[in-house]
Structure 1
Amino acid sequence: MSRSTARPRRIGPVLLACVALVAALAGCATGTDAVASGGTFDFVSPGGKTDIVYDPPASRGTIGALAGPDLMNDGKTVSVADFPGQVVVLNLWGQWCGPCRAEVPALEQVYERTRDRGVAFVGINVRDPQQDKAKDFVVDNRVGYPSIYDPSMRTLLALGGNFPTSVIPTTLVLDRQHRVAAVFLRALLAEDLQPVVERLAGEGPS
């Protein structure tokens, strides 16, 4: 079992305003809209904490193969495998989610500050059946990194059965080996995320 350290934050009313039903996974599409398989990630959240850090690095599990349609570019695919050797920040979001709208400037800020250090960001847009509205969200908020369009939440199967997929927004930070190094089950500020990303970027490739 993975060991973890975390600040003792608990899920508050604002975060719970964007709770999506876990049952949505039961109705996931079975076509080629998204791919998710494999992985060793074992989610551990002692005491209901919402900020979880997995250390030492040897305790980190890997997610499965995670890929899906590019939200903004029809016919293209976005995959975690597109970013070998890079720290990858995965952010689960929906344009219907108030806290997602609140945190997007912070995510974009950290992305711009760390991209030259081998850090990639990938959004996963969930439960947005109207793709145009999700695209408008990206344009209006000037989001510079790609997102997977996954209204059925099928890609989240790559995160393992024990992951609390009911909480949106959620952010996972993968180290350079694409092992899960941190999970945030809440909306983030730049000062929450940037130190974690910079520390992982400094760990090197091994």
Structure 2
Amino acid sequence: MSAMTRPRPRVAAAAAATVAAAALALTGCSSSGSSGGGEGQVGFVTVKGTNLSKADAGKRGDAPDISGDTLEGTPAKLSDYRGKVVVLNVWGSWCGPCRAEAKSLQNVSEKYKDQGVQFLGINTRDTEKQNAVRFEQEQGVTYPSLFDPAGTQLLKFPKGSLNPQSIPTTLIVDRDGKLAARAVGGTTEDALESILQPVVAEQKQ
């Protein structure tokens, strides 16, 4: 009888691992979680009970001037969009949550394109550019994405603002080129708009 009960702890452990993996798939493509350490350096304060963070004007860190070629082969850099609110989305074609949020991002980009908002993707860890291009075609994504397979551009972000292991992550850069808000692990239209709208409205104050 005791011999029959021995495997049970292993079964329970396997089940727990499966549950953990499923939870991870829902929240993001990495086990590293969000970049909680050092948040104060960039002024981010987490919105309670969410994966969203905001930084008040005057407490925001500078966004790095990331640059490179887009998936279409056109040179681009963040500073090209100075004076606009920029929504930066870090994604990969291999990432399930990236696929789940893609249409929401596209919808918000279309809704705000006439309000001084520019979306810019950062495609990472796709060794084959064609996989990333196919992803955009399938999801109907029309805004540009930098091709950054090695994550070189991600490493330019200040500590506490972007964890290169937490994909997808969406950052909002204000009109002065400062990091104003963040969503880690995937987002929805409503969640993204909740942190985008206040930054867009700053121009009208």
TM range, smaller chain: 0.7 to 0.9
Q: Name the amino acid aligned to 2:126.
A: D
Q: Given the alignment, which residue of 83, 102, 105 partners 1:104?
A: 102
Q: Does residue 119 in structure 1 map to residue 130 in structure 2?
A: no
Cα 1:49–1:195 change in 2 (3 A) is closer
1:191 maps to what in 2?
A: 190
Cα 1:17–1:86 change in 2 (3 A) is closer
1:143 maps to what in 2?
A: 141
Q: Deviation at 1:119?
A: 0.2
2:13 maps to what in 1?
A: none
5+ long unaligned stretches in structure 1:
1-11, 23-40
CA distance in 1, matches of 2:49, 2:42: 15
Deviation string 1:159-192 (CA, Å, 9 cap, x unpaired) is: 1244322100000011111211111112111000
Does the CA contact (< 8 Å) of 2:123 and 2:132 recur in 1? yes
Does the CA contact (< 8 Å) of 1:176 and 1:205 recur in 2? no
Answer 1 or 2: which has greater helix percent.
2
2:52 maps to what in 1?
A: 51
Deviation string 1:113-163 (CA, Å, 9 cap, x unpaired) is: 001000000000000001011111111111110000000000012212443
Deviation string 1:88-120 (CA, Å, 9 cap, x unpaired) is: 000000000000000001000000000100000
Structure with bigger gyration radius: 2
Q: Given the alignment, which residue of 13, 16, 22 partners 2:24?
A: 13
Cα 1:198–1:42 change in 2 (3 A) is closer
Does the CA contact (< 8 Å) of 2:29 and 2:185 recur in 1? no
Q: Name the amino acid aligned to 1:142.
A: G
Q: Given the alignment, which residue of 78, 81, 87 partners 2:76?
A: 78
CA distance in 2, matches of 1:164, 1:43: 15
Cα 1:52–1:19 change in 2 (3 A) is same
Deviation string 1:2-24 (CA, Å, 9 cap, x unpaired) is: xxxxxxxxxx52245511789xx
| 3-state SS, counterpart of residue 148 of structure 1 | strand
Q: Name the amino acid aligned to 2:61.
A: G
Cα 1:14–1:67 change in 2 (3 A) is same
2:5 maps to what in 1?
A: none
Query: Given the two structures, how large is their TM-score scaled by the length of structure 2?
Result: 0.77
Q: Name the amino acid aligned to 1:174.
A: V
Query: Given the two structures, how large is their TM-score scaled by the length of structure 1?
Result: 0.77
Q: Name the amino acid aligned to 1:69.
A: D
How many equivalent residue pairs? Answer: 174
Q: Deviation at 1:59?
A: 0.4
